[in-house]
Amino acid sequence: MKLTDQVIKTFKTAKVFRENQDVINSINFSPQGDTLISSSDDDQIVIYDCQNGTPKKNLNSKKYGVGLINYTHAQNTAIHSSTKVDDTLRYLSLHDNKYIRYFPGHTKKVVSLCMSPIDDTFISGSLDKTIRLWDLRSPNCHGLMHLPGRPVAGFDPEGLIFAAGINSEQIKLYDLRSFDKGPFATFKLQADRDCDWTGLKFSPDGKLILLSTNGQTLRLVDAFQGGPLQTFMGFTNNKKIALEASFTPDSQFVLNGSTDGKVHIWNTETGSKVCVLTSDHTAPIQCMQFNPKYMMMASACTHMGFWLPNLDDM
């Protein structure tokens, strides 16, 4: 089935899971789309089976806490940031809940974490005003950048380039093979005076960059020229929190939650809002992603919701 405006409008909550007692910080679909992993403020890591629509495994990180979490390319492993003890990143075996490696360096909360789409490289950004490049095979970072403001970063879909958002007003593009030589492109955008950038994602086709904020605005930028393309508004964020926005796999739509528990979806080409979906969420939807392989999306506040199209509505 192809995603169209009409299909998007039929999405409804098919499953709701209430395993967590606290706010879900982060969600991440596996590259194959068969599972989804989540982390929450109550130190839980929950893995969901996307094909059966059931919780598959519950793990705990009581000692270190768990902030942001990403699957790696190795089977049954993930990296996550910490909320207790220190701000070390940790490489976890999901099979036996044991740590494979630690990545020390950040001295304040990690607010950006992204795994390369092609290899063992990953990137992190912290409120200590640094972005660090890592390799899962080594505990030492192999790239360190000091940047003003709250840093956000992400890889392009080919894993050859990464973008860093600087001080909520500039995007710098780096070639991974020569990042120490500095950015090969810098895009200066109009600064958001009333909010900070909290997320940066390339579209799956590599043509667009999506900037999330802790305000009531999302920005879509041309990934090649840096020109502003669309501004998405109309959702509520009256708590000034980081609301995750994401692309659909075909790069045609952007989805974003809101503090009133609704889901807003826009068309990336026209900039028009396709629909606002009402959910079972009673708290702010901080996490929102579309499955990379299946016709499914997930949203999270203190509980998890799986969305499927309802073709009877068409």
Q: What is the CATH number of the domain that holds 162?
A: 2.130.10.10
pLDDT of residue 313: 66
User: For the chain, how many structural domains are there in total?
Assistant: 1
The two three-digit tokens of residue 79, written as one number: 């990296």
Q: What is the mean pLDDT of residues 259-288?
A: 95
pLDDT level of residue 314 (50, 70, 90 thresholds): low
pTM here is 0.94
pLDDT level of residue 287 (50, 70, 90 thresholds): very high
The two three-digit tokens of residue 199, written as one number: 């997320």
pLDDT of residue 210: 98
pLDDT of residue 21: 76
pLDDT higher than 90, residue 67: yes
Torsion sign across C-alpha atoms 220, 224, 225, 226: positive
Range of the domain at 29: 5-313
pLDDT higher than 90, residue 109: yes
pLDDT higher than 70, residue 52: yes
Closest CA to 253 of 293, 220, 217: 220
Mean pLDDT of the chain: 94
Torsion sign across C-alpha atoms 230, 233, 253, 28: positive
pLDDT of residue 19: 79
Q: What is the mean pLDDT of residues 83-111?
A: 95
